[in-house]
A and B are shown apart, each in its own frame.
Chain A
Amino acid sequence: MRYLARRFVHAILLLLAVSFFSFALLQLAPGDFFDEMRLNPQISERTVEAIRAQYGLDRPLPVRYERWLGAMLKGNLGYSMATNSAVAPLLRVRARNTLLLSGTATALAWLLALPLGVWSAAKRGALGDRIGALATSAILTIPDMLLFLGLLLLAARTGWFPTGGMVSPGIGEANFWSRAKDIAFHLVLPAAGLALVMTPVLMRHVRAAMTEALDSPFIRAARGHGISRGRVLFRYALPAASNSLISLLGFSVATMLSTSMLAEVVLSWPGLGPLLVESIFSRDVYVVVAVVMLSSVFLVMGNLIADLLLFVSDPRIRLENE
């Protein structure tokens, strides 16, 4: 239990640090809203100061940070000047879309990488393993951007897949099932692209972890006892390799988020990525900070979930402090 508590406190401290950084970024942004008001000769300096005081901008930085953090925790993420609405509802839709895309892609990548990695570790040095190694290296050297642009070109040329967006126009009135089908159809291209980028990385790690497990003496002992190949592989070696794979799951969230941003922008998936780029161009500071904060929350959550899974799966960690 102490392990879990420690990880939890750690995650909260991390988020605090990130929030501090985000707030500093807000302060760093050149000028504030009232600079323009000061240029107006009809508004006296005293009026401007009074309004600033009204908004609490005359307070010292630590006080403002505390207030800002309090507001963030209550779900008040600020106000988007560009779209003239609160940030929170704007973000909710985009975050849902990003989670849908990266969740699907993560699941897809693991479903591919796990069997392929286990298989190539079991057949180490065989032709299939070498072809797999070559293919993963080949995909790794292709820039992500080129991959996504290539997929977009494929969609544009063949018309097999939609070239952007998340729903077809006019689908709003349709019933739930046809809407879900439409979204799934739009999801194919970006999810496939993301999974294609992630799978080789994951596969390499799975292979390395499995190789290490298969080389340990207890596996040779199990083989010597005449236990079948499949059972040795999946009941003996895979659980032994699972620790580093679970840590990898946590770590892969970070890569997934960054790659997903690029995929969303290139393939126009309405997630957090395009929102971030738009809000940078329209100098919508609160949206930028909220997106950065939210993506850090996703990342920390991903790591926390990995820690939880480790706790559940590994008795050594569970019994560590008892």
Chain B
Amino acid sequence: MKSRRKLWGALILLAVFHALILFAGFFAPYGFAVQDREMPFAPPTRLHFTDARGKVHLRPFVYGLKDDPANPGAYVADTSELYPLRFFVRGAPYKVAGLIESRLHLVGVEGDGRLFLMGTDGYGRDQLSRFLYGGQISLLAGLLAAALSVFLGVVIGALAGFYGGWIDELLMRGSEIFLALPWLYLLFAVRAALPLHIAEWQVFLLLVAVMGLIGWARPARMIRGVVLSAKERKFVLAARGFGASDAHLLFQHVLPQTYGVVFTQIALLIPQYVLAEVTLSFLGLGVGEPMASWGTLLSSLQQYYVLSSYWWMFLPALLLIPLFLGYYTMADALQERLKSVSL
């Protein structure tokens, strides 16, 4: 019962997070490459309810920013004019999931007002918008790579476990090589073999392919273990006795028993791959500017003055915590369920 509630909690958290990323265009007030050169490193915009004269507004509003005369590089609120917050505003056009064109944004302010809920980076780009758009790259890379790894793991693990003999021996020796390679180093090495500057979609596909191809060994070994015991179950033996073909046995009886392990492995691999993408892009070897990915968002923290003076540049990294919490909790709950089922 407890693991069930945990699983649902994690699933809801993950659904919300992924919906935010999927509909980034709608939730983001601005585009990911829109620059406001007047506003580099603007702090997160504060929402106000009471104005300078103490009047209370029901609709929250924001002030514009002007340069702080006492402190160069910093900003103070310009209380002379207020910009009320509006919902469902028309703004820059974007495409929902790359298909449907729309101009509708969840929130925005009108006129000269600016809404930077997570502050801006050195080019005056809205961090929240960049985080949401960046997720489309980082999260998709993680999801696709995890799917690829686990798919390979299922194919290889099922073949090794089901047929045994020299196939098993060969595949499992192969998996040991992949386990023995320090995988982050390997990822870097493969990246090194390719030109430094290649098109964005090529980098993306490359990341997915390399991460997916390196990571199959662990899921394959776990799935092999499940298949080994699954094929000896009485009902599988009975089906074999009735003359069922290998394919029928595999797809109808053996593979369904591995689903638990499959989903647990996916839930564990996605955060790992998201982090790998973040690491590569952080170092400038992944997806490059002006595209947004979670790694490129953090890369400015390599500069000392950014790290020590602009705390909001850490926000994208902090927002990864709920995502990882969701996936780890899901893996945890799945594992608990698995244990209670097999008992």
A residues adjacent to B (C-beta < 8 A): 10, 14, 17-18, 21-22, 25, 28-30, 137, 140-146, 149-150, 152-153, 156-157, 163, 254, 257-258, 261-262, 265-266, 276-277, 279-281, 283, 285, 288-289, 291-292, 295-296, 298-300, 303
Contacts and interface: CB of A to CB of B under 8 A. Distances in A.
Nearest to B189: A292
Contacts of B186: 292
Interface in B151-189: 176-177, 179-186, 188-189
B283 A277 contact: yes
Nearest to B274: A143
A70 to B, nearest CB: 21
15 contacts: A14-B176, A30-B193, A140-B328, A143-B321, A143-B324, A144-B275, A146-B321, A149-B298, A254-B179, A254-B182, A257-B184, A258-B182, A262-B279, A277-B285, A296-B185
A143 B192 contact: no
Contact of B189 (A14, A25, A163, A266): A25
B314 A149 contact: yes
Contact of A145 (B177, B181, B190, B278): B278
A280 B185 CA distance: 11
A172 B107 CA distance: 59
A282 to B, nearest CB: 10
A82 to B, nearest CB: 13
Interface string B286-308: 00000000000010011010011
B328 A149 contact: no
A150 B307 CA distance: 9
Q: How would you classify the secondary structure of chain A's contact residues: helix, strand, loop or mixed? A: helix
Contacts of B284: 281
Contacts of B318: 146
Given A143-B320, A262-B279, A18 B180 contact: yes
Contacts of A289: 189
A300 B180 contact: yes
A156 B301 CA distance: 12
Interface in B302-337: 302, 304, 307-308, 314, 317-318, 320-321, 324-325, 328
Interface residues of B, number: 40
Contact of A14 (B180, B195, B279, B304): B180
B185 A141 contact: no
Contacts of B324: 140-143
A285 B193 CA distance: 8
B189 A288 contact: yes
Contact of A276 (B188, B195, B314): B188
B34 interface: no
B105 to A, nearest CB: 29
Contacts of B195: 30
A29 B195 CA distance: 8
A-B CB proximity, top 7 nearest: A258-B184, A146-B317, A280-B192, A288-B192, A156-B308, A141-B324, A292-B189
Given A143-B278, A145-B317, A156-B308, A276 B180 contact: no
B169 to A, nearest CB: 13
